[in-house]
Chains A and B, each alone.
Chain A
């Protein structure tokens, strides 16, 4: 990111005089953008940082994406103002929290200013791998149960926006982050035209049109939401339902072929096998078995055959599985 003029050559040097309304605050504007890997968190923060810098602010952007395998958590702190010292936003100091994923949004809520903080959150729900308590198909998932209404009650100003669906309707699900930028833009001082110019630099050329549409959609949505009389909340996005197990797992063991090598017992990811008194493999904890077939594949003696028996549909709907 190039510096706009020579006068900002030093971090601690005399900052440029902020333009227009932004000058009223001595304190920096703190925007926290969070999501999971692959959603475009960094792109949102870069667009914002670039725009702020182009308007003469000192900007600090600090991100963590080292763990951001697809599905891993990603967050970015953007601070801008006449003078910014610390690169990160302290707890309770974020002016705006933009979340691209519902649970990530909730995770970062403590960073929001209690009295004035604005919470803009996609209702998109991505269940992280570590939320799987049990790999058995149909096992319940651990995921936040808070509804948008409950969350809004805890923040000064909250918006639950189904940005992913909106972007989908525009024809590109990946533009969901730009829908959120549209929503974010209404809370900041920069003009729509400036935003659109900044965005055009950060999205692939082929997708400029759809991203500009996404920006406008998000911006309009939040304007309407602000003026809306009724308090109807956006529905939470559909979670890929914990698949109701379409089958029961059954292990067929040929005891005469088992040579007690113990490979299946030691390599079973669920540790649900054991050698019995005759040192022949048996399924000790059938409720844990996911039917992954690792035992069958690694048995050098062909002594294990995993059957996934189809179950009747009414049984398949697992009791307790979240809809």
Chain B
């Protein structure tokens, strides 16, 4: 598996080395997702000075601190709202949001659906590990049915969110999902999201090995990574496999891609038209007075 830009890409060029090693647990999938993001950024040649990463609270939210860019670790659930302000005020910046399943879908759910609707150019990377890891392993909106968490001692009986279906239904013009096991594919997906001229929602299926994995006896870190391969059906198989591997099977790859006007661009265009109109009326007023 030698991938084109892999030899040239050294993830350390994009890390704050003084902050390493990062604070994530052994085997945590978020580190793999972070690599894929930085790899995609490398391939696109995005200037680190022009890269702004906004992240929320939780394990995923902590990732921004390790990225050598303009990074903003904001309040719980709100990174999309902060990023909306930042991206509208600074259209020259490349704004990426890193958020978790709880951050994005529970406390920040309202911001997600409206970001999808608004279609401002942002790339939202939601790292879904099915659990509130930072707080010790409570049930999250994406926890699978019957999974044990510290707040579902009898097994989770709440239905979970399909985040991508939610984003698509809310109007997101780019929606994709990938597992951390497929790093080059994940990189390609994030890259497509970064290139998308509008709001891009990318869900990364990541592993919480130390808390969720242990609690549910999902095996070692390596076993959990491998399980992604056996239990999740890539979308390419959708038409050929009759029975899903598990009941809440999640398709991967680019799931939605539509063209809609980018909000920032549309706003600036309307504002320019308003200014031209005002100027025209002002000069007309001057002429009237002269006549």
Identify the A interface with B (CB < 8 A).
256-257, 259-263, 265-267, 291-294, 296-303, 305, 308
A292 / chain B contacts, CB cutoff of 8 Å: 1-2
What's the nearest-Cβ distance from chain A to residue B167, in Å? 25
- In whole angstroms, what is the CA distance A260 to B210 when docked? 12
Cβ-based interface call for B11 (8 A): yes
**What is the chain A residue whose CB lies nearest that of B31?**
A300
A256 / chain B contacts, CB cutoff of 8 Å: 20-21
Chain B, interface size: which category?
Answer: 20 to 34
Identify the B interface with A (CB < 8 A).
1-3, 6-7, 10-12, 15, 20-22, 24-32, 35, 180-181, 183-184, 209, 220-223, 225-226
* Contact, CB under 8 Å: A261 / B27: yes
B10 / chain A contacts, CB cutoff of 8 Å: 305
Name 5 interchain pairs, CB-CB below 8 A, sorted by A: A261-B222, A262-B27, A263-B221, A266-B223, A302-B15
What's the nearest-Cβ distance from chain B to residue A315, in Å? 19
* Contact, CB under 8 Å: B184 / A297: yes
- In whole angstroms, what is the CA distance A308 to B3 when docked? 13
* Contact, CB under 8 Å: A302 / B31: yes
* Contact, CB under 8 Å: A298 / B6: no
A291 / chain B contacts, CB cutoff of 8 Å: 2
- In whole angstroms, what is the CA distance A172 to B222 when docked? 47
What's the nearest-Cβ distance from chain B to residue A116, in Å? 46
* Contact, CB under 8 Å: A263 / B222: yes
- In whole angstroms, what is the CA distance A72 to B29 when docked? 36
B1 / chain A contacts, CB cutoff of 8 Å: 292-294, 297
* Contact, CB under 8 Å: B21 / A267: no
What's the nearest-Cβ distance from chain A to residue B154, in Å? 30
* Contact, CB under 8 Å: B12 / A305: yes
What's the nearest-Cβ distance from chain B to residue A244, in Å? 16
* Contact, CB under 8 Å: A261 / B26: yes
Additional A-B contacts beyond A259-B27, A263-B222 (7; CB < 8 A): A257-B21, A262-B220, A266-B220, A291-B2, A297-B184, A298-B181, A299-B35
What's the nearest-Cβ distance from chain B to residue A293, in Å? 5
* Contact, CB under 8 Å: A300 / B24: yes
B32 / chain A contacts, CB cutoff of 8 Å: 297-300
B21 / chain A contacts, CB cutoff of 8 Å: 256-257, 259, 301, 303
What's the nearest-Cβ distance from chain B to residue A188, in Å? 40
What's the nearest-Cβ distance from chain A to residue B213, in Å? 11
* Contact, CB under 8 Å: B6 / A293: yes
B222 / chain A contacts, CB cutoff of 8 Å: 261-263, 265-267
- In whole angstroms, what is the CA distance A260 to B21 when docked? 13
A266 / chain B contacts, CB cutoff of 8 Å: 220, 222-223, 226
* Contact, CB under 8 Å: A261 / B221: yes
What's the nearest-Cβ distance from chain A to residue B10, in Å? 6
- In whole angstroms, what is the CA distance A301 to B209 when docked? 14
**What is the chain A residue whose CB lies nearest that of B221?**
A261
B12 / chain A contacts, CB cutoff of 8 Å: 302, 305
* Contact, CB under 8 Å: A302 / B20: yes
- In whole angstroms, what is the CA distance A302 to B223 when docked? 19
**What is the chain A residue whose CB lies nearest that of B33?**
A300
- In whole angstroms, what is the CA distance A305 to B11 when docked? 9
What's the nearest-Cβ distance from chain B to residue A278, in Å? 14
* Contact, CB under 8 Å: A263 / B15: no
* Contact, CB under 8 Å: A299 / B31: yes
What's the nearest-Cβ distance from chain A to residue B212, in Å? 15
What's the nearest-Cβ distance from chain A to residue B113, in Å? 30
**What is the chain A residue whose CB lies nearest that of B1?**
A292
A256-B21, A300-B24 known; A267+B225 contact, CB < 8 A: yes
* Contact, CB under 8 Å: A293 / B3: yes
Q: Which of A256, A261, A267, A301 has the most CB of B within 10 A?
A: A261
- In whole angstroms, what is the CA distance A308 to B2 when docked? 11
A297 / chain B contacts, CB cutoff of 8 Å: 1, 6, 32, 35, 183-184
A308 / chain B contacts, CB cutoff of 8 Å: 7
